[in-house]
Amino acid sequence: MSQRYRPDSHSLFAEQLAYYNARAQEYDESVQQTGRYTGPGIPEVDTEWQYVARRLHALPRVAHTLELACGTGLWTQELLDISDQITAVDGAPEMLATNQAKLNSPRVTYQQADLFAWQPQDTYDQVFFAFWISHVPPERLTAFLQQAAAAVEPGGRIFIADEPAGGKQLSGPVENDIEQTRTLHNGETFRIVKVYHDTQTLQRQLEALGFTDVELWVGDFFFWLTATKS
């Protein structure tokens, strides 16, 4: 019987957070192909990544973006080009500190929060999360999307980017449908959640939450989805 995420989900979530907290610097280097990860990269992956960024840049400017799981700021930096102000949330203090040190922008406000326990306190005209939804297990998907939707102002938009089901699984295969073992440069290993979500399911869930004008693009490595809250 395949072992699904169950009673010790809290320890899995805690381990995932500990992993990202320990990996902040490495994460940044690996995605930007600098430092310990300096290298030519994979051209097809770079092309798709740039396409996601271009799509984001083509969207109308907003007053206030809420960025969930902001990480080291790869997307916060892009969001600054189309947002007057950003509230950037992450559970890992090292991610937040790296992001803040890199961007050093008075237009970004940082909040530390565990997104599995988080409830939005405000509404925003854009809610954005990149490479986060794949760390939300299917059993938590509806609850998380409800929370994210509640943070979107009527008429505002949501933008999601991540790795799709049926793609080339850049982050490697998953175990038990929803988990991976990740190893840091120093050899330390962690269990984390990793799910290549079905993009049609995401679209249907957002439509059920009152989103319209859904635009969905699915590539070999990444997808983006944007929709407007009615």
Ligand X SMILES: C[S@@+](CC[C@H](N)C(=O)[O-])C[C@H]1O[C@@H](n2cnc3c(N)ncnc32)[C@H](O)[C@@H]1O
Binding residues for ligand X, rule: CB under 6 A, are 13, 16-17, 20, 69-71, 74-75, 90-92, 95, 114-116, 130-132, 135
Residue with the shortest CB distance to ligand X: 71
- Which residue is associated with the tokens 């080339």? 168
Nearer to ligand X, 62 or 79 (CB): 79
CA nearest to 223, candidates 179, 172, 180, 167: 167
Nearer Cβ to ligand X (131/211): 131
Residue with tokens 């997808």: 223
Both tokens of residue 160? Answer: 């999601």
Pick 135 or 229: Cβ nearer ligand X: 135
Provide the minimum distance between the beta carbon of 1 and ligand X in the complex, in angstroms, as a whole number: 27
Report the Cα 147 to chain-centroid distance in Å.
15
Least distance (Å) between residue 72 CB and ligand X: 6
Q: How far is the CB of 141 from ligand X (least distance, A)?
A: 14
Least separation, in Å, of the C-beta of 194 and ligand X? 9
- With CA atoms as reference, report the closest residue to 11 among 186, 179, 176, 187: 179
d(C-alpha 49, C-alpha 75), whole Å:
11
Minimum distance of ligand X from residue 115's CB (angstroms): 4
Q: Which is nearer to ligand X, 139 or 213 (CB)?
A: 139
Dihedral over Cα of 166, 1, 182, 225: its sign: positive
* Residue 80 near residue 67, CB atoms below 8 Å: no
Nearer to ligand X, 191 or 213 (CB): 191
CA within 13 Å, CB half, 212 = 3
